[in-house]
Amino acid sequence: MRIEPYLIFDGNAEEALAFYERALGAKVEAKMRYAECPDPVPPEHMPPGGPQKLLYASLRIGDARVMMSDGVPPEAGAFRSFSLSLQYPSEPEARRAFDALAEGGRIVMPMGRTFFSPCFGMLFDRFGVMWMVTIESSAETQH
């Protein structure tokens, strides 16, 4: 069994998809617009911006899959706190990803040594997704 994150964006999923391709070297596996859906989409499920918005997209970041959509706006009071964690084999790779994701975003904790990792940082990217970037624990000697 796997758990795969599914990110719901507020009309800018396509922009996020392109950003993650560039920032993380992600590979798009699939992409479908609401207009391409084989079944009619009820109006109440159509996002602002209409049928050209993304119904579904899947991308590969390393060996992990992340799915995304311009889905129906989240319900008020919904769970709002999560973070995607990226683990790299070396500090230069971790710092490159961190810096790329930080472009236009907000750094919460700059990359640095912690008690649990020689290189760890946290940030919100420009889309409001929180990321934790670190090096794999087996890579501790690579700092």
Q: Between helices 13-24 and 91-102, what is the axis angle to 10°?
A: 150
Domains in the chain: boundaries: 6-69, 84-142
Q: What pLDDT score does 142 carry?
A: 43
Question: Options 2.60.40.420, 1.20.1440.230, 3.40.50.2300, 3.30.720.110; which CATH number does 84-142 get?
Answer: 3.30.720.110
Tallying the residues shown for the chain, one arrives at: 143
Buried b (16+ CB within 10 A) or exposed e, 7-27: bebeebbbebbebbeebbebe
CATH of domain 6-69: 3.30.720.100
CA–CA separation, 23 and 33 (whole Å): 23
Q: What is the pLDDT of residues 49-107, one digit of tens each?
A: 889 999 999 999 999 999 999 976 655 556 667 899 999 999 999 999 999 999 999 99
